[in-house]
Chains A and B, each alone.
Chain A
Amino acid sequence: MRRLTPYLLALPGWMWLAIFLVVPMVAMASVSLQTGNAYDGYAMTFSFSNYGDALGRYSTQLLRSLVYGALATAAMLLIGYPVAYWIAFKGGDRKSMYLFLLLLPFFVSFVLRTISWNFLLADNGILFGTLKDWGLLPDDFHVLATTLAVVGGLTYNFLPFMILPIYVALERVDPRVVEAAQDLYATRVGAFRRVVLPLSLPGVFAGVLMTFVPATADPINAQILGGTGNTMIGNNIQTEYLVNLDYPTASALSFTLMAVLLVGIFAYARALGTENVLEAAAR
């Protein structure tokens, strides 16, 4: 009995995963191979061509999503790493307060936060309108409905997910190891490059994973901050599902996106040296 206890304790979790992850996935996989229409219903025909059709129609948006996701992730890394570093090494007694501040925006709905950016960045809104009135910006200046707005929104919304794992990795770096590097003739920059950075890579890996995937699949930022030319794959999936009621195409697109992201992640893990990262992460 005692040996079974851990498994019994894990049972609710496993059941949750089985019911709410595996079952919908199987259902969606099945839908993605059906044909028909919204009025007469869909029937299973093992129509693998659904995938080819969906990809043919939306390859531009899929590629754009990957590019936006990558741009936003790169921006988050550039902004997030120094923040995580600063909190981990210079935060002192106030570390938990800074982390709380970082998470504070989450108390406001994701959609609302994005809409507030729309409000801030409006062509004649509070910021640009004023600057235009003062003649500091040309009248046709705009940020909304551009790549910059969408990537900026993605960067803003997912930044904490980049900072937190990097912070956790940096927090675990023993300051004496950094001192040891300096004692062994490394400059501050050298000690960072040879010791701190390699030890924080597992955090970077986790951060990239936790931001690139949701940013690439996100429909909200493109919808609220982008224009017709900034549509991302998440928007297409949403439209197919909720507007066109074309469930097979929506499902096929979802699975395609998932497959592309998985391949990308494994390629990335390989490039970083999986063994190394997993090994370091397990420590």
Chain B
Amino acid sequence: MTGLSAIELEDVVKEYLSHGEVVQAVKGVTLDIAEGEFFSLLGPSGCGKTTTMRMVAGFEAPTKGLVKLHGHDVTDVPPNKRDVNMVFQSYALFPHMSVWDNVAFGLKQRRTPQEEIRRRVGEMLEIVDLAGREKRRPREMSGGQQQRVALARALVNRPRALLLDEPLGALDLKLRQAMQIELKRIQREVGITFVYVTHDQNEALTMSDRIAVMNDGLVEQLARPRDIYERPATAFVAGFIGTSNLLAGTATGGEMKVRGGRVLVPGHDGEVSVTVRPEKIAIGQDEPGPELSGVRGTVAEVVYLGTYTSYSVSLADGADITVFRQNAHDSLAAAERGDPVWLSWQAQHSYVIGS
């Protein structure tokens, strides 16, 4: 990444005691998040992503390692002295204050002049489309509105970075999608670094500049969304992001033999694991040429999904391969349940996972 570093983590470890045993929630994470970047921490629950973010905010002190904000070591700085603000998972709005007082809280704490508070809170409520609702209490508002109050309450302080902990988790699908676009727009408008914690791969893929996929306290892969999707670094990433097909075997001379066919893995020899995305695979009746990977199987399931059809194909060795086929030209299925078929894909779409 180019540009200045907004947030740096250097080999950060977080241990805590649980029932007398030391548990490592974060096992050594190193990250360098650039100024103005939309950065996501993606992973299943318990992977350490929230703990990592809480160490950036200052709510947790790392057991080992350094946290730096804009080049300054803040490892021992309390949260109220850090120039980052957080949007909490359940919003954590102040229930006894009006929307206005919630949003003005940070500015008042910093003893901003009255006139400026009035102006900035007003502007911010305008941006999140809540003008005219200043006197409402949080519990009188819908989930989506509360979400926007939480966002405004953090952004009004113009932090150097905004930390968002699964901020859309409590919203229904439609609202969530609308807010994804909204968040991205706001991020572009204010131009500050967003660090986004989520377990939702779609959310991470659509919004992020870069994603760190976490599992079991470690970063499995740190890359742009396209690379995470197309070139997963580990079997975990391949399985966690989207649907993927995993094939394993022994390769000789750049070709891996499997029962009922072959997988081209140019430049690889020995034990290999290969992932192939479902939309890269073609399904047909004819055996493909030697320039393609080809495997024979039987269609076990056909599911029509509107823009595409999903085929589940059983191979001779019992593995199931999922294939997505766009319904671009006709709505006729390429094969029916029980049909013998050939699956084929180009060599470049066999992505070999580091063994």
Which residues of A does B touch, CB under 8 Å? 174, 176-177, 179-187, 190, 194-195, 198-199, 276, 280, 283
Contacts and interface: CB of A to CB of B under 8 A. Distances in A.
A198 B94 CA distance: 10
24 contacts: A174-B90, A174-B92, A176-B88, A176-B89, A176-B90, A179-B79, A179-B86, A180-B92, A180-B94, A180-B153, A182-B59, A182-B78, A182-B79, A183-B57, A183-B154, A184-B106, A184-B109, A184-B153, A185-B157, A186-B80, A186-B105, A186-B109, A276-B96, A283-B139
A182, A187, A276, most chain B CB atoms within 10 A: A182
Interface of B: 57-59, 78-81, 85-86, 88-90, 92-96, 105-106, 109-110, 139, 153-154, 157
B94 A195 contact: yes
Contacts of B95: 177, 199, 283
B105 A181 contact: yes
Contacts of B93: 177, 180
Contacts of A184: 80, 85, 105-106, 109, 153-154, 157
A179 B80 contact: no
A183 B94 contact: no
Contacts of A183: 57-59, 79-80, 85-86, 154
B57, B78, B92, B110, most chain A CB atoms within 10 A: B92
A29 B144 CA distance: 56
A194 B102 CA distance: 11
Contact of A182 (B80, B89, B90, B110): B80
A48 to B, nearest CB: 45
B103 to A, nearest CB: 10
Given A179-B88, A184-B85, A185-B110, A280 B80 contact: no
A32 to B, nearest CB: 43
A144 B85 CA distance: 57
Contacts of B88: 176, 179-180
A25 to B, nearest CB: 37
Contacts of A276: 96
Nearest to B19: A93
Given A174-B92, A185-B80, A198-B96, A179 B59 contact: yes
